[in-house]
């Protein structure tokens, strides 16, 4: 199997008992109408009988003798009873009990001597539902990869009763052998030699082009005065979100209607992600105001950007930029306009760069985090951002697992020392699933942030309506 890339290896090197580097997803399902009380147990049995996790989740991590070198994925046996677990909620099985259980599960570090994933089926959820919590190490997958994997497990057909493993095996059987596979062994060897030589020549040219492109990207992103995202990162204020983290996590969730985001985006000529960043700015502004801890300068968010991946491997293919959240602006419409101006300009600047240069740009952004994490000095450094804000799409249509309808998908992410808050939103079937991950000790009452996010959306809707029609105020 292949070696891990620079960014994937960085997530492994940053792993510690206080900063586990795994991501997760909490999915809630509604039981089929004809399901009996043993349905969750049946789901567990079927998942274990037909396990399926794509590469590299059929592998474990193997470090070389010199840990200065990146590790390698090597195939490993999967102990399905270890990886696929069955839990139950205490009565009354509400969202509070579910959140408490999943927060504890997400706080536990993974056994990296095994394939780096766990799946927990959780029964006893009120209103005839059950939950599935999946976690996987960030060295093996990014947000877009996770959404792609979830879509392969689930089906838009409510009558589909096969397990994810059974559906995958059937799809692979239908595809049959690869028509492009080389049959002759000598021809195959020659093909590999030619490909290796071509890659060597291409890589030499690519490194030169990437270095030149990377320098140009830094230059462009440093331009623009107050709209410069590099200057924004260097001016990031310190907040209660930027402190040393402990091992324990909390999850805050909110389910919102996608059409509300779309309506604002259309009326304000901006993107849905601009609306997400705006209401995040509003929520964090209100949360810090209540603690008398809102800084004069605007909070900033690290905004990951997914990059195309053509090699079919797992791991991470991301870059990103730092965006001010307008927390120094009272009016939510002005806050949105400010954010939209910055994101539009930054995306235009980044579109001029190649994917290779953008991936290197993302690695440069991770370098100080990794260095500070490994030396234990990261909480003492000036922060480069205050919160991570990610936005991914799971599916525009409803999905089902063995006849059970997926109702919501709440993401959970990683935290670093000095960076105790992460917000990830997932678009699914006309809904926006908001998931805050926070350090339990650094950010008390995390659910308030999720609630404030919903209220910030209403505030923004009202402000946009008043702007369009002053008489409606």
Three-class SS of 278-318:
HHHHHHHHHHHHHCCCCCCCCCEEEEEEECCCCCCCCECCE
Q: Where are the beta strands (DSSP E) in 9-112?
A: 22-30, 59-62, 72-75, 84-88
Q: What's the whole-model pTM score?
A: 0.84
Query: Which residues are paired to 471 by β-bridges?
Result: none
Q: Which residue has the tokens 């590299």?
A: 56
Q: Which residue has the tokens 């580097």?
A: 21
Residues 240, 293 contacting (CB under 8 angstroms): yes
Query: Which residues are paired to 308 by β-bridges?
Result: none
Choosing from 22, 106, 137, 138, the catalytic residue is 138
> Which residues does 383 contact at the CB level (< 8 Å), separation at least 6?
236, 237, 238, 239, 242, 418, 419
Is 120 an active-site residue? no
Along the 473 residues of the chain, how does pLDDT read in single tens digits?
Answer: 688 988 899 899 989 999 999 999 999 999 999 899 899 999 999 999 988 788 899 999 999 988 788 999 999 989 999 999 999 999 999 999 999 999 999 999 999 999 999 999 999 999 999 999 999 999 999 888 888 888 888 999 999 988 888 887 777 667 665 533 434 444 444 444 444 434 443 444 444 455 555 455 444 555 555 666 667 778 899 999 999 999 999 999 999 999 999 999 999 999 999 999 999 999 999 999 999 999 999 999 998 876 665 555 555 556 678 899 999 999 999 999 999 998 988 877 666 656 666 666 555 666 677 778 778 788 888 898 999 999 999 999 999 999 999 999 999 999 989 999 999 999 999 999 999 999 999 998 999 999 999 999 999 999 999 987 665 55
The CA-to-CA distance between both ends of the chain, in Å, stands at 62
Q: Where are the beta strands (DSSP E) in 148-265?
A: 249-257
Q: Which residue has the tokens 């992600």?
A: 273
């Amino acid at each position: 199997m292949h070696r891990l890339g620079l960014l994937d290896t960085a997530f492994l090197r940053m792993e510690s008992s206080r900063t586990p580097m795994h991501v997760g997803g909490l999915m809630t399902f509604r039981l089929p109408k004809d399901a009996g009380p043993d349905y969750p147990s049946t789901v567990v049995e079927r998942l274990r009988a037909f396990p399926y996790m794509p590469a590299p989740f059929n592998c474990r991590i193997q470090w070389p003798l010199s840990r200065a070198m990146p590790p390698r994925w090597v195939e490993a046996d999967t102990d399905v009873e270890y990886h696929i677990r069955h839990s139950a909620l205490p009565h009354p099985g509400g969202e509070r009990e579910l959140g408490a259980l999943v927060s504890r599960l997400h706080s536990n570090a993974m056994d990296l001597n095994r394939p780096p994933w766990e799946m927990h089926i959780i029964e006893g959820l009120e209103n005839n539902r059950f939950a599935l919590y999946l976690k996987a190490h960030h060295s093996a997958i990014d947000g877009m990869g996770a959404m792609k994997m979830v879509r392969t497990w689930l089906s838009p057909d409510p009558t589909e009763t096969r397990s994810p493993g059974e559906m995958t095996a059937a799809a692979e059987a239908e595809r049959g052998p690869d028509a492009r596979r080389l049959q002759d062994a000598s021809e195959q060897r020659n093909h590999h030699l030619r490909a290796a030589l071509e890659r060597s020549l291409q890589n030499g040219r690519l490194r030169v082009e990437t270095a030149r492109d990377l320098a140009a990207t830094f230059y462009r992103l440093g331009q623009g005065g107050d709209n410069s995202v590099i200057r924004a990162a260097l001016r990031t204020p310190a907040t209660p979100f930027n402190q040393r983290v402990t091992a324990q996590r909390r999850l805050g969730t909110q389910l919102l209607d996608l059409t509300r985001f779309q309506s604002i985006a259309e009326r304000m000529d901006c993107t849905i992600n601009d609306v997400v960043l705006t209401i995040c700015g509003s929520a964090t502004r209100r949360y810090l105001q209540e603690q008398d801890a809102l800084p004069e300068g605007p909070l900033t968010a690290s905004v990951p950007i997914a990059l195309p991946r053509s090699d079919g491997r797992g791991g991470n293919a991301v870059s990103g930029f730092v965006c001010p959240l307008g927390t120094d602006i009272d009016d939510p419409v002005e806050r949105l306009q400010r954010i939209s101006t910055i994101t539009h300009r930054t995306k235009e600047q980044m579109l001029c760069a190649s994917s290779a240069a953008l991936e290197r740009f993302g690695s440069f952004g991770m370098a100080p985090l990794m260095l500070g994490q490994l030396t234990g000095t990261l909480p003492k450094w000036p922060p480069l951002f205050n919160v991570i804000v990610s936005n991914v799409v799971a599916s525009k249509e409803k999905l089902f697992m063995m006849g059970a309808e997926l109702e919501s998908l709440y993401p959970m992410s990683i935290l670093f020392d000095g960076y105790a808050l992460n917000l990830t939103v997932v678009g699914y079937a006309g809904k926006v699933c908001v998931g805050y991950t926070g350090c339990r000790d650094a950010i008390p009452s995390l659910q308030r942030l999720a609630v404030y996010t919903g209220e910030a959306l209403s505030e923004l809707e009202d402000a946009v309506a008043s702007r369009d029609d002053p008489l409606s105020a």
